[in-house]
Amino acid sequence: MAVAAARCVVAAAAAMGPTRGRVRLRSPTEVMVSNVEAANAMSPTMMLDFADVVTELEGYAEDAQGLVDPLIIRGDPKGRVFCAGADVKACAPLLADADGRMAMATLMHDTLSRLHALPLLVVAAIDGGAFGGGAELATAADVRVLAADARIVFVHATRGMSPGWGGAARLKRLLPPEAAMRLILTATPITPDSPWAPWLVDCVAQADDASPTPALWPIGD
């Protein structure tokens, strides 16, 4: 399915409702994923927002000619986590048939691939957790900063699904392929003290870090 066609299908689902959640470019250096009713999970409206935000960032990065600050992607604190993947309730029209599922996967795969290709340092600031599609979003960043109690979990297998937003391929580039597949098949949580943290967790933000953006310090001293 072409991306333009996928966008039309997702837009039709967004019009069917419920309409909730937004992805906003709050500044040239911050993207906020906000859906407090559903743990910052992605509704169809948010998927369209995200695609538009990445398009805007592509233009900004081109105009800036590389002289840009890091881009921070964070979940709305009121949603308690970074992102819980797809908002199952809001995405019900898409999940109901194969064409809808393909449209959602096509649009999000394209959006996250373009995000990953941006000539910017993209930082995922992960509080609480990144689950399912949220874990896939985390792999599209260049740097993953986790709160000390946060975790990344590819929960797809527990729901009889496989990653559809490009996260599996990106995870295989970050980890040994066999380890990546094991994490996906077993839905093993990745925490700051996980054996796989050195490959996936670039920095840990301590609870007493009062800075407006996560502390970008490597794990350890």
Express each pLDDT in 48-97 by its tens digit: 999 999 999 999 877 776 656 899 999 999 999 999 999 999 999 999 99
Contact 8, 44 (CB under 8 A): no
At 106 the pLDDT is 98
At 215 the pLDDT is 40
Rounded Cα distance between 219 and 23, Å, is 29
At 118 the pLDDT is 93
pLDDT at 216 > cutoff 70: no
At 172 the pLDDT is 95
Rounded Cα distance between 147 and 149, Å, is 5
Enumerate domains of the chain plus CATH numbers: 1-205 (3.90.226.10)
At 171 the pLDDT is 96
pLDDT at 26 > cutoff 60: yes
Rounded Cα distance between 123 and 210, Å, is 18
At 18 the pLDDT is 74
- Residue ranges of E strands in the chain: 22-27, 30-34, 71-75, 122-126, 130-131, 143-147, 152-153, 203-205
Dump pLDDT digits (tens) for 144-202.
Answer: 999 999 999 999 999 888 899 999 999 999 999 999 999 999 999 999 999 999 999 99
At 22 the pLDDT is 96
At 67 the pLDDT is 58
pLDDT at 221 > cutoff 50: no
pLDDT at 214 > cutoff 60: no
At 212 the pLDDT is 39
pLDDT at 127 > cutoff 60: yes
Q: Exposed, middle or buried, 53 (CB in 10 Å: 0-12/13-18/19+)? A: buried
pLDDT at 139 > cutoff 70: yes
Judge if pTM exceeds 0.85: yes
